[in-house]
């Protein structure tokens, strides 16, 4: 899953705002990806949340590009209005490629049910986020479990088990509602978490996450250290592969490094 962030304050970028031309170039650089993930709002906890109107204003210039691609499109948003607008666009334009709602809110509510009922070619990513309301999704670091070790892993499994459904993809959402130690625990025990939940469709995303930077002693992402961070991400993935099961989408800013 190749990641495109069309926002000026992405946690994983260098403060660049991508134009439609630049996005097309970036997709070409990705090469042979299975899914494209697009986000127009940064949910890094230091950033202010934006409303649906601003998010749609950022997304709209890129709709023609999304329409032209013959691969599944994942939209990273917690705003039901945004995914609703996109679902209408998919219908009006007769787009056959799957549409995936990558919803970081962790709220499996009526909006999710309505979205899945609209089209059998629509998918939903159910994320781990302990924020109590959709509008607080970006403030996830205020809401963290007190459990550690196996207790935390069991709590996480219990969080996911009720949502094992067709066309629902489960995402432990590394970097969200987790301490540094909890992030590394979930990553190191991801195969065990899969077996505890017994679901065969997952998303795993930790590309350029802050807990990786902290491990490497990097204060922030720069043009100089980004390659080091991306190579470290690939190294960890290669170590995880033998213990994983089912279908897993790997969310990454560098699909060209995916070599298993």
DSSP per-residue codes, 62-128: GHHHHHH--S-EEEE---HHHHHHHHHHHHHHT--S-EEEEETT----HHHHHHHHH-TTEEEEEE-
Whether the CB-CB separation of 245 and 196 falls below 8 Å is answered with no
Is residue 69 predicted with pLDDT exceeding 50? yes
pLDDT in tens, 93-122: 999 999 999 999 999 999 999 999 999 999
3-state DSSP call for residue 18? coil
pLDDT in tens, 164-179: 999 999 999 999 999 9
Q: Helix (H) and strand (E) counts for the chain? A: 10, 8
CA-CA distance, 187 to 86, in Å (whole number)? 32
Could you please state the CATH topology (level 3) that the domain comprising 2-257 is classified under. Answer: TIM Barrel (3.20.20)
pLDDT in tens, 215-250: 999 988 888 899 999 999 999 999 999 999 999 999
Q: Which of 56, 74, 68, 70 is nearest to 2 (CA)?
A: 74
> Per the confidence metrics, is the pTM higher than 0.75?
yes
| Helices 149-160 and 190-197, axial angle in degrees (round to 10) | 40
- Average pLDDT over every residue of 127-144: 96
CA-CA distance, 134 to 143, in Å (whole number)? 13
pLDDT in tens, 190-224: 999 999 999 999 999 999 999 999 999 998 888 88
- Average pLDDT over every residue of 48-57: 85
Give the start-end residues of each E strand in the chain. 2-5, 36-39, 73-76, 99-103, 122-127, 168-171, 201-205, 247-251
| Enclosing H/E stretch for 259 | none
pLDDT in tens, 14-34: 456 678 898 999 999 998 999
- Residue 45 has what pLDDT? 59
Domains of the chain by residue range: 2-257
């Amino acid at each position: 899953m190749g990641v495109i962030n069309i926002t000026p304050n992405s946690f994983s970028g260098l403060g660049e705002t991508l134009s439609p031309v630049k996005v097309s170039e970036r997709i070409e650089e990705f090469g042979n990806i299975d899914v494209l993930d697009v986000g127009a709002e940064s949910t890094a906890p230091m950033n202010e949340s934006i409303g649906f109107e601003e998010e749609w204003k950022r997304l709209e210039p890129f709709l023609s590009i999304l329409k032209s691609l013959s691969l599944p499109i994942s939209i990273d948003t917690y705003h039901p209005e945004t995914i609703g607008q996109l679902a209408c666009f998919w219908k009006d334009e007769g787009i056959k490629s799957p549409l995936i709602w990558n919803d970081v809110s962790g709220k499996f509510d009526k909006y999710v049910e309505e979205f899945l009922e609209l089209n059998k070619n629509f998918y939903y990513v159910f994320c781990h986020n302990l924020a109590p309301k959709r509008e607080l999704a970006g403030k996830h670091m205020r809401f963290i479990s007190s459990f550690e070790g196996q207790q935390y892993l069991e709590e996480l499994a219990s969080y996911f088990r009720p949502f094992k459904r067709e066309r629902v993809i489960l995402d432990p959402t590394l970097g969200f509602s987790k301490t540094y130690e909890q992030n590394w625990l979930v990553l190191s025990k991801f195969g065990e978490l899969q077996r505890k939940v017994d679901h065969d469709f997952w998303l795993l995303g930790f590309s350029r996450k802050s807990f990786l930077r902290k491990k490497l002693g990097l204060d922030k992402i720069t043009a100089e250290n980004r390659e080091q961070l991306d190579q470290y991400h690939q190294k960890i993935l290669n170590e995880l592969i033998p213990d994983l099961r089912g279908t897993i989408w790997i969310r990454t800013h560098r699909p060209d490094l995916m070599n298993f």
